[in-house]
Amino acid sequence: MHHGKYRFVLSLLLVPVGLYAVFVISPYLQAFSIALTDWQGMTAESHFIGFDNFVKLFHDPVFWTALRHNVFLLVSIPLVIVSLSLFFSAMLNYQGGVPGSRIYKVVYFFPSVLSIAVVGVLWQFVFEPRNGLLNGFLQAVGLGDLRQIWLGDGKTALGSIMAVVVWGGVGFYVVLFTAAMSAIPKDLYEAALLDGAGPWQSFWRLTLPLIWGSVQVAIAYLVIGALDMFALVQVLSVGPGGPDDATQVISLYMYTNAFTYGNFGYAAAIGVALFAINLILTLLTFRLTRRERVEY
């Protein structure tokens, strides 16, 4: 009887696993082989050059600049988004939930339903240096000296794009953390209150350990997202990737080498390096954020 059940399950999994192998795993494996060639992308000919692309990558200053920007983003984006999301979620769940919490959740979640292209175009109008919303607001409140060429200045361009990522990402994790917090039994908070625990102690010693699984998943997603950043940098930055590589990230540099310069072999080497960095950081994230599971 069990033999027939396993055969039925395997037959259902055969097609999706086959499609996943063809359209996901196969391109990854091809990228490894292409990275060892000088393939230009538009010809059928390619020559095996060993690890020359990786040696060139190691001495490429633009790659290290892009990697430095990705490292900055993967440290700052999870820290800011998770902190803000936990704060807003705790406020929405304070003492059983504030009035109108459902409306706040919809408002917070709204940026998450917008496509990256729409978000990019929207924020281009906000950052527009002459008639943009941000500079106009600063001028209106008497802070005209703080007006900037936000996306055109190397000192503010990457921070401006990071602000857009935070704006678009907080809402999703507010909903995630709010759902996790609402599942915690109220009896535990009442017992903590009787023991003299204040709001901060209840959050730090009760709420956070009980929702740590959700926080861990959020950090892992945000680390992976911070190593991508292609679409938003492509839409928002000058160049893109500018000014003067001030917003250059690895995924955009890989795309530029492939589809602008026709260096598909070198772009594949960048992709392999990005894959290795992503894999290592994801494993480290789960390792460093691992805690004993708390049950209630």
Q: How many domains does the chain have?
A: 1
Q: Using pLDDT thresholds of 50, 70 and 90, give the confidence band for residue 292.
A: low
Token pair belonging to 233? 């940098």
**6 part of a folded domain:** no
For residue range 4-30, what is the model confidence (pLDDT) as tens digits?
A: 677 888 888 888 899 999 988 898 888
Percent of the chain's residues with pLDDT above 90: 25
Average pLDDT of the chain to the nearest whole number: 86
CA 27 and chain centroid, separation: 22
**35 part of a folded domain:** no
C-alpha dihedral (133, 136, 140, 142), degrees to nearest 10: 120
* Cis check: omega of the bond before 78, within 30 degrees of 0: no
Token pair belonging to 172? 């999703």
Is residue 291 pLDDT above 70, yes or no?
Answer: no
Which residue(s) pair with 238 in the sheet?
242
**32 part of a folded domain:** no
Token pair belonging to 102? 């459902």
**22 part of a folded domain:** no
Token pair belonging to 103? 């409306």
Token pair belonging to 120? 């990019």
Give me the long-range contacts of 60-64 (CB less than 8 A, separation at least 24). Answer: 62/245, 62/248, 62/253, 63/250, 63/253, 63/270, 63/273
C-alpha dihedral (82, 87, 92, 95), degrees to nearest 10: 130
Token pair belonging to 152? 């055109």
**21 part of a folded domain:** no
Residue ranges making up the domain that contains 267: 59-289
**29 part of a folded domain:** no
Model pLDDT, residue 96? 66
**44 part of a folded domain:** no
For residue range 225-269, what is the model confidence (pLDDT) as tens digits?
A: 888 888 888 888 887 887 888 999 999 999 999 998 889 999 999
**33 part of a folded domain:** no
Model pLDDT, residue 295? 60
Residue 197 near residue 205 (C-beta atoms within 8 A): yes
CATH of the domain at 284: 1.10.3720.10
